[in-house]
Structure 1
């Protein structure tokens, strides 16, 4: 499978290395408006075509599938153009910036007869995979509560300017970092959300939210609390999964730990190659989807993450909790 990458941003190097590592894939093309960024991402890779117009990449005869790694509002048009050119599509999270766009993306790829997958990397990170395996063993019983704490940085100059544009990014810290939290909360919680309550803060003089909290009630009764905070004294990425007979903590920098009846044990230690391992596993999953396998991240799950981000924004603006589902036409 010949892979083309659209967008040479921060995680582009992981996508490139994943394609180089898998025997069923070959990295053949990369596109970015900044040719130097594309060159850096594909450094030392032989036979790669470079493009500054993504439409030329998707029309290339040397590309079978594309990875869309671009600002959020561009996911839909790029996915549609790729699908109409007969290319399979892996689109980075969030799937899109509105539910209508999520639905249209699915309709267009299905009509074109190509496969679509959404890159929610949390499902492939080794610390989360270890936590999932521990849950499935049954030792801890059912999940009863989830707490998720994430730090980020939305100060001016800390990230590309498009992140601060609501029309392009779809929002701020919640659609970006909060999307990861919602994804893994739903995955470990084991059910869709039926109620959401959120609040946001807008600091540093930027036009999008920099901080936020989200509380979810899942259909199975599991309660979820999520906090995303910009520029705190200490960085955090801690997912706590509270079960009937113990608590799991997963943190990519600390590893996966479990505490049962007053005793803590390490399930998995972190490794310097964990992020690359996750991206390689994600691409392997995409190749499986192209071959007809079920995806690790169902499209309805990816759509629901977008739905909950939009509901969080609406809840914060209205200062009240909202029932799910939202109307499909609600924009970001």
Structure 2
């Protein structure tokens, strides 16, 4: 079999929650083959490995020593990733690391340094870039369909009252640092911080807002972002109240999605689907990123745009396929460590702003 035809061998570290969704998506790939899985929970990794015919490990160092791998995907909680990246880089394997890249910008920068020193590619899991609705929206923006972008916004406000708030545990986000719930500013909003810059081709130059601290009581989170092109980004998150959307404002969701109630597999009516609003000088876009729908509004009215590609969670397959192509051809990752570091720099600026009640420029 030629090198071009051979599927690249992938090892996955972390197969709980979103890791299982990555695994199922990778199994549909013609570019990669999952040959090894690692998880600290022996029963969980054994079950996952049996389902896909992969080798099972409870220690990533054992996996690295025993398996001939081309790519290692690190899907463990953010607090654990720096040490794992160090070991995988030392083993000379290409790395894809989930979002957020780490819990601090300093740790993410150290990951970048370690991989550069070892000469291994490091890809940041900015998976929203592979959602068809966002990809098509980016093309429309670049083509000038809505003119100059002036405002981007996303919010998640809902839940089932204060008791529905559920912070991610300290082993995920250590107490005293960034944290909050799964649909909050850090674990979810980090996608939008990257997406706003990616959609517009313009980085965030200043930020203000407030984010939840791990171990502290959960509150409403928000961020105002200034982009280099003059546009403003707005994020708002609160999952300890009730939604106000009316029934007719829902969408049939073709794709899988996440909200305060957890994971939804798709293929059903969704009363409160997540969406991204992009406003410009000549029109606006409503991007239902998980529901797999895109609407363009301008002087001619509002119309739905036809999308190509499969909805979530297939974006995880598209992501690994893109990285596998880059690894195979010796190309630098398109979604690289710089993107993950930039997102963390913005998060840290938001937290600094909340602590000091001022607008703060992210450090480069």
Structure-1-length-normalised TM-score = 0.87
Counterpart residue number, 1:127: 133
How big is each residue's C-alpha offset from its partner over 1:235-271, in whole Å with a ceiling of 9 and x where there is no partner?
A: 4522101112100011122611111115111114799
2:150 is paired with a residue whose SS is: strand
Mapping 1:138-217, distance limit 5 Å: 138-151=144-157, 158=166, 161-162=169-170, 165-167=173-175, 170-172=178-180, 173-200=184-211, 207=216, 209-217=218-226
Structure 2 residue aligned with 1:233: 242
Render the CA deviation track for 1:83-136: whole Å, top value 9, x for unaligned. Answer: 101111100011122222122111111111211101011101122112112223
Q: Counterparts of 1:311 and 1:71 in 2: how far apart (Å)?
A: 22
Count of aligned pairs: 322
CA deviation map 1:134-155 (0-9, x unaligned): 2233222221211111358796
CA apart distance, 1:81:
0.6
Mapped partners of 1:151, 1:236: distance in 2: 11
Alignment of 1:1-332 (within 5 A): 1-46=8-53, 48-151=54-157, 158=166, 161-162=169-170, 165-167=173-175, 170-172=178-180, 173-200=184-211, 207=216, 209-234=218-243, 235-251=272-288, 252-253=290-291, 255-261=293-299, 263-268=301-306, 274-290=311-327, 291-325=329-363
After superposition, the C-alpha distances for 1:165-218 in whole angstroms (9 at most, x for unaligned) are 43597422322112112111111232112211102467xx95364531000111
1:28, CA displacement in angstroms? 0.8
What SS is found at the alignment partner of 1:176?
A: coil
Give 5+ residue unaligned stretches, structure 2. Answer: 1-7, 244-271
Question: Does the aligned pair in 1 maintain the 2:82–2:107 contact within 8 Å?
Answer: yes
Q: Kindly indicate whether the alpha-carbon contact (under 8 Å) linking 1:248 and 1:257 is maintained by their aligned counterparts in 2.
A: yes
Q: Distance in 2 between matches of 1:208 and 1:166?
A: 14
Higher share in helix = 1
Distance 1:325 1:316, change over 3 A: same
Secondary structure of 1:317's match? helix
| CA spacing shift, 1:169–1:275, aligned 2, 3 Å | farther
Q: Cα distance, 1:56 vs. partner? A: 1.3
The answer to whether the 8 A contact 1:72-1:170 is kept is no
Structure 1: which 5+ residue stretches go unaligned? 327-332
SS at match of 1:216: strand
1: distance between equivalents of 2:287 and 2:157?
Answer: 15
Flag the 1:127–1:208 CA change in 2: closer, same or farther, 3 A: farther
Partner of 2:5 in structure 1?
none
- The CA RMSD measured in Å over matched residues stands at 2.7
